Amino acid sequence: MGSSRRRASLPVRLRYHAADHRGRGKIGPVHSPVLHFECTRPIFHSLPGGVMIRAHQILAVILSLAAPIAAAAQATPATAPAAAIEKGSTVQLEYTLKDDAGAVLDSNKGQSPFTYTQGEAQLIPGLEKQLVGMHAGEEKKVVLPPEEAYGRADPGAQTEVSRDLLPPEALTVGARLMARNSTGEQRPVMVKEIKEKTVVLDLNHPLAGKTLVFEVKVLGVEPPKGAEPKSTN
């Protein structure tokens, strides 16, 4: 048969090399970007069953595989991982608050998300600590004893004020009000006792002394402002 000369370039991850004129060859990796294949005469290889195949036929098969293999070998662009809650993150939450008996005390389900900044003391410390590392879409049940929530009730945390300072509708034992202290900070108080000229107010938080159960779902997490974007390889 007449000789022929063929030349082709194969990608770095695949090669076929005809070692000599007798047709000995091997398949293996290369370190250059491309491999040049040359065949100057017909070379036959034996396959199981007595089938003979020419070198240029092998080359055709290799070339047909080269394109998809090369495409699959291309590096996938790095993508930023989902943001986790950390100090400075802006977080959107859905929550339900219950007492340890299962009674619902508060919930924003079906309403606007609760948005806060992690690490800015906008949540009770025990809950904020449990949210670190969570991602959007994750849910968690958090049980907080009084020490990690609003503290133990303090029997001495009360004050007595003139009845004239309270509106008439608040002159009922158990009524809850928002009071402002000398620094301008607002805090909830409860009418504990009504006297002839004064009213005794309980300064404990309404949830002081209670074990609280939070069922939370993270709806969104924005990284801290100015934080370097993180990526995965």
CB 142 within 8 A of CB 211: no
In the predicted model, is pLDDT for residue 172 greater than 90? yes
Average pLDDT over residues 86-90: 97
In the predicted model, is pLDDT for residue 152 greater than 80? yes
Tokens of 170: 């608040």
What pLDDT does residue 78 have? 64
Residues in the chain: 233
Query: Is the pTM above the cut of 0.75?
Result: no
Distances (CA, A) of 90 to 24, 121, 153: 66, 13, 32
CB 84 within 8 A of CB 134: yes
Average pLDDT over residues 78-98: 91
CATH code of the domain occupying 90-150+208-222: 3.10.50.40
* 206 vs 177: CA distance, rounded Å: 11
In the predicted model, is pLDDT for residue 57 greater than 90? no
Stronger pLDDT, 19 or 5, i.e. the higher one: 5
What pLDDT does residue 23 have? 44
Topology, domain 158-202 = Thrombin, subunit H (2.40.10)
Stronger pLDDT, 196 or 49, i.e. the higher one: 196
Q: pLDDT band at residue 181, thresholds of 50, 70 and 90?
A: confident
* 36 vs 58: CA distance, rounded Å: 15
Stronger pLDDT, 97 or 81, i.e. the higher one: 97
In the predicted model, is pLDDT for residue 66 greater than 80? no
What pLDDT does residue 67 have? 59
Q: What is the CA radius of gyration of the chain?
A: 37
Looking at 47-61, 85-99, 111-125, 176-190, which range is the least confident one?
47-61
* Domain ranges (residues) in the chain: 6-73, 90-150+208-222, 158-202
In the predicted model, is pLDDT for residue 207 greater than 50? yes
Beta bridge partners of 51: 47
Residue with tokens 């809850």: 176
Looking at 4-13, 140-149, 203-212, which range is the least confident one?
4-13
SS3 content of the chain, % helix, strand, coil (to 5): 15, 35, 50
Q: What angle do CA 53, 22, 40 make, to 5 degrees?
A: 75
